[in-house]
């Protein structure tokens, strides 16, 4: 096979790879638990070869393009952030090549938004997802929400990332569940977009998150919240707080990009606030990495 692309979304705790054909079509995909933080001795070349070596045998001239924490200080090489506003050309301009003796491999730079004094923001990996999602959005743009451990809210205008903000929603939920006094009350199971979840979302309107979190305990003690519903209620409190802050006076259309179980919760929460959202294809990162590879090929051709 010729002119293929191997796109890799390599995060702290996850590894997703795509074998893409000359027109960007997904030929094969695979996932592994080999996140950046799990690579033994920092031998990223060996880890990559173990995961995609067979693809390279099939298509030896493939360009490898990698995004995510693989470009951080803890990764293969620290790649400088590109400043916002940034479109595909600016991100492509920040790609850096790594030598690994197996053909051409590049790492995507993260983005830096320094537009708000005292509150700079950074991302690594989501920029490739957002660039790949552009084709699914109207030309004028919108706001892309990528929910997760560190949710990102990304403003896109005319195909260019104007700026973004990070919310530690998923990480704070995990901390509370795993290590807090609230975690002791939480039964196992999935979070549901039920009335308790939506109750949490609505309560977030008044702000004061550090106080609202405690109501997950006091309502149980006062008999107005079943223990089995603490996890959904708490998720609603946190996602609601994120939404009220992120939406603020934002009137642009909201696009959701992430794991289906999570985007479904965000869609329900947005509905509670009277907003609609469009859920994007989760393979957007493959399209983004493909687009960046095309920039490389054009600049080399």
Q: Exactly one of 13, 187, 218, 299 binds its own copies (CB under 8 A); which one? A: 218
Question: Does residue number 37 form part of the binding site for its own copies (CB under 8 A)?
Answer: no
| Residue with smaller CB distance to its own copies, 126 or 242 | 242
Q: Exactly one of 199, 232, 258, 263 binds its own copies (CB under 8 A); which one? A: 199
Q: Exactly one of 3, 96, 104, 114 binds its own copies (CB under 8 A); which one? A: 114
Q: Exactly one of 41, 101, 118, 139 binds its own copies (CB under 8 A); which one? A: 118
Interacting positions 227-266 with its own copies (CB under 8 A):
238, 241-242, 245-246
Stretch that binds its own copies, among 27-35, 95-103, 220-228, 252-260 (CB under 8 A): 220-228
Q: Exactly one of 168, 185, 264, 278 binds its own copies (CB under 8 A); which one? A: 168
| Residue with smaller CB distance to its own copies, 23 or 251 | 251
Task: Tell me which residue of 20, 17, 18 sits closest to 4, measured CA to CA.
Answer: 20
Question: Does residue number 9 form part of the binding site for its own copies (CB under 8 A)?
Answer: no
In the complex, the smallest distance separating the C-beta of residue 221 from its own copies, rounded to whole angstroms, is 5
Please check whether residue 236 is in contact with residue 272, taking contact to mean a CB–CB distance below 8 angstroms.
no
Question: Does residue number 150 form part of the binding site for its own copies (CB under 8 A)?
Answer: yes
Question: Does residue number 212 form part of the binding site for its own copies (CB under 8 A)?
Answer: yes
Question: Does residue number 167 form part of the binding site for its own copies (CB under 8 A)?
Answer: yes
- Chain residues that interact with its own copies, rule: CB under 8 A: 81, 112, 114, 118-122, 150, 165-169, 171-172, 175-176, 178-181, 199, 203, 207-215, 217-219, 221-222, 224, 238, 241-242, 245-246
């Amino acid at each position: 096979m010729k002119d293929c692309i191997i796109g890799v979304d390599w995060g702290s705790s996850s590894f997703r790879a795509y074998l893409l054909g000359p027109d960007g079509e997904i030929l094969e995909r695979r996932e592994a638990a080999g996140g950046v933080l799990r690579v033994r001795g920092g031998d990223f070349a060996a880890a990559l070869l173990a995961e995609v070596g067979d693809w390279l045998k099939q298509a030896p001239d493939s360009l490898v393009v990698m995004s995510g924490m693989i470009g951080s200080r803890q990764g293969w090489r620290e790649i400088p952030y590109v400043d916002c506003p940034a479109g595909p050309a600016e991100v492509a301009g920040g790609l850096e090549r790594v030598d690994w003796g197996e053909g051409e491999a590049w790492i995507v730079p993260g983005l830096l938004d320094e537009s708000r004094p005292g509150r700079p923001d950074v991302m690594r990996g989501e920029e490739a997802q957002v660039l790949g999602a552009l084709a699914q959005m109207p030309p004028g743009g919108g706001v892309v929400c990528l929910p997760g451990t560190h949710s990102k809210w990304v403003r896109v205008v005319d195909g260019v990332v104007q700026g973004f903000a990070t919310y530690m929603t998923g990480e704070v939920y995990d901390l509370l569940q795993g290590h807090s006094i609230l975690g002791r009350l939480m039964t196992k199971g999935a979070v549901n977009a039920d009335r308790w979840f939506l109750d949490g979302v609505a309560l977030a309107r008044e702000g004061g998150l550090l106080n609202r979190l405690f109501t997950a305990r006091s309502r149980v003690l006062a008999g107005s919240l079943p223990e089995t519903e603490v996890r959904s209620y708490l998720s609603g409190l946190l996602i609601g707080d994120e939404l009220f802050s992120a939406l603020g006076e934002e009137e642009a259309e909201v696009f959701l990009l992430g794991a289906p179980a999570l985007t479904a919760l965000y869609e329900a929460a947005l509905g509670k606030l009277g907003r609609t959202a469009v859920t994007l294809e989760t393979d957007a990162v493959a399209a983004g990495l493909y687009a960046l590879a095309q920039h490389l090929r054009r600049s080399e051709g």
